[in-house]
Amino acid sequence: GDSVTQMEGPVTLSEEAFLTINCTYTATGYPSLFWYVQYPGEGLQLLLKATKADDKGSNKGFEATYRKETTSFHLEKGSVQVSDSAVYFCALNAGGTSYGKLTFGQGTILTVHP
Amino acid sequence: SQTIHQWPATLVQPVGSPLSLECTVEGTSNPNLYWYRQAAGRGLQLLFYSVGIGQISSEVPQNLSASRPQDRQFILSSKKLLLSDSGFYLCAWSGQSHYEQYFGPGTRLTVT
């Protein structure tokens, strides 16, 4: 079946450091890929997405590139801020008859210190 | 623009009591609707999804049920809560032709 694996974390960084959160997936066909962010006590917010191979999703300084050859969708940001502290989820949608269902990774906690 | 509402925001209920959580979506029609449970602030478990009024699919057999009485209303229910039903419940919607989902603010349920 479909699955998403992301680095366990937690990840602790100083402000202005470079961020990478790894995400790899297993899916049949050509899934769409997503990164969601969850701030404490809130629902998930869509951060960025990519729908086909080599697409780069970007938003708020975050980027991720859909790499079909390595089945990866790593999240990066060049300079993190304290306000980026949150839980980050990688997810895929396999399309077809999945009715839009998402398969999520377990989430990675990011803490950014001043 | 589309918005999604959930209520209540927090709920404390005794074991054996009934449950009703409500989710409504504004600004779109005929959305796909989803209920998730999140334990310990981490992984999400899909509980139910619906592609139309009265159409409910269950992902995991359990103590909960879902209903969709109107196009943009999705309700999560239980007749008798268990301690293990505690968690953070999230409702989400997606369009018919787009696969990204948009989440509500969630309901924190504590069963005592």
Residue B87 corresponds to which amino acid? G
Per-residue pLDDT of chain A (114 residues; tens, 9 = 90+): 889 999 888 999 999 999 999 999 999 878 999 999 999 889 999 999 999 999 999 999 999 999 999 999 999 999 999 999 999 999 998 876 656 788 999 999 999 999
Residue A75: the pLDDT is 98
Return the number of CB contacts < 8 Å for A and B: 55
Q: In 3D, which of B47, B23, B50 has the Cα closest to residue B37?
A: B47
3-state SS of chain A is CCEEEECCCCEEEECCCCEEECEEEECCCCCEEEEEEECCCCCEEEEEEECCCCCEEEECCEEEECECCCCECCEEECCCCHHHCEEEEEEEECCCCCCCCCEECCCEEEEEEC
Q: In 3D, which of B34, B54, B45 has the Cα closest to residue B104?
A: B34
Among partner residues A34, A99, A102, which is closest to B51 by beta-carbon distance?
A99
Instruction: Read off the pLDDT of residues B68-106 as tens digits, 9 standing for 90 and up.
Output: 999 999 999 999 999 999 999 999 999 876 678 999 999
Distance from CA of A46 to the nearest CA of B (A): 7
Instruction: Read off the pLDDT of residues A97-110 as tens digits, 9 standing for 90 and up.
Output: 656 788 999 999 99
Residue B85: the pLDDT is 93
The verdict on a CB contact (< 8 Å) between B101 and A32 is: no
Mean pLDDT value across chain B: 92
Distance between start and end Cα atoms, chain A: 41
Residue B6: the pLDDT is 97
Is B8 an 8 Å CB contact of chain A?
no
Evaluate the CA torsion angle A101, B67, B91, B16 in order and state its sign.
Answer: negative
Is A99 an 8 Å CB contact of chain B?
yes
The verdict on a CB contact (< 8 Å) between A106 and B43 is: yes
Instruction: Read off the pLDDT of residues B29-67 as tens digits, 9 standing for 90 and up.
Output: 999 999 999 987 578 889 999 999 999 998 886 889 999
Residue A97: the pLDDT is 61
